[in-house]
């Protein structure tokens, strides 16, 4: 290998096991944040974009992504704001998160997307934005493939 060539990306699959919040299957590109997301006032549900000031994902869309986050913050309006994303077609494909609250659980239910929590490893330490992630919520399985879809 010459000095300018990049090493080949790892093709290993990382598997996490957790608990189903809402069943179903989805796969897609991961969007990861270490910040909790506020629903009411923190997102634009018409575009699926994070609008919260000082949020690390401000200006980025979670539409059609696997949203990986620590949990929800804010009022009970969280689930209502995310429900609108389902109606407008801007919802994430699935959610993988650490902290179970009624806000995020109800949000997953009203969006009708697969959601998994209580994983055997911290997903924020394993999954990176851009990884291809498969969520089989019925089985509580999250598979991570480094980089874009293979």
Question: Taking the chain (150 residues) in consecutive chunks of 10 residues, what is each chunk's mean pLDDT?
Answer: 44 92 98 94 95 95 97 86 95 97 92 97 97 98 85
Evaluate whether 137 touches 114 at the Cβ level (below 8 Å).
yes
Q: How far apart are CA 25 and CA 33, in angstroms?
A: 21
Strands (DSSP E) contained in the chain are 13-17, 19-22, 25-32, 37-38, 43-44, 49-50, 66-69, 72-73, 94-97, 115-117, 132-136, 141-145
Q: What is the pLDDT of residue 12?
A: 85
Residue spans of the domains in the chain: they are 13-145
Query: For strand 115-117 and strand 94-97, is the pairing parallel, antiparallel, or unpaired?
Result: parallel
Cα–Cα dist 61/28, whole Å:
14
Active site residues: 75
- Please name the CATH architecture into which domain 13-145 falls: 3-Layer(bba) Sandwich (3.50)
Tens digits of residue pLDDT in 93-131:
999 999 999 999 999 999 999 999 999 999 999 999 999
Q: Please name the residues in contact with 54: beta carbons below 8 A apart, sequence gap of 6 or more.
A: none
Neighbour-count burial of 40, counting CB atoms closer than 10 A to its CB (0-12 exposed, 13-18 middle, 19+ buried): middle
pLDDT of residue 55: 95
Q: What is the pTM of this model?
A: 0.89
Decide the pairing of beta strands 66-69 and 25-32: parallel
**Residue 107: in which H helix or E strand, if any?**
helix 102-111
Predicted local confidence at residue 48, as pLDDT = 96
């Amino acid at each position: 290998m010459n000095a300018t060539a990049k090493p080949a990306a790892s093709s290993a699959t990382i598997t996490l096991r957790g608990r189903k919040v809402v069943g179903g299957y989805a796969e897609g590109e991961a969007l990861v944040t270490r910040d909790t997301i506020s629903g009411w006032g923190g997102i634009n549900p018409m575009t699926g974009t994070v609008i919260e000031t000082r949020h690390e994902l401000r200006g980025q869309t979670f539409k059609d992504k696997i949203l990986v986050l620590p949990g929800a913050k804010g009022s009970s309006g969280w689930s209502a704001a995310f429900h609108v994303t389902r109606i407008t077609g801007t919802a994430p494909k699935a959610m993988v998160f650490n902290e179970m609250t009624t806000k995020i659980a109800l949000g997953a239910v009203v969006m009708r997307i697969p959601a998994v929590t209580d994983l055997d490893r911290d997903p924020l330490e394993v999954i990176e934005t851009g990884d291809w992630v498969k969520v089989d919520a019925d089985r509580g399985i999250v598979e991570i493939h480094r980089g874009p879809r293979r």
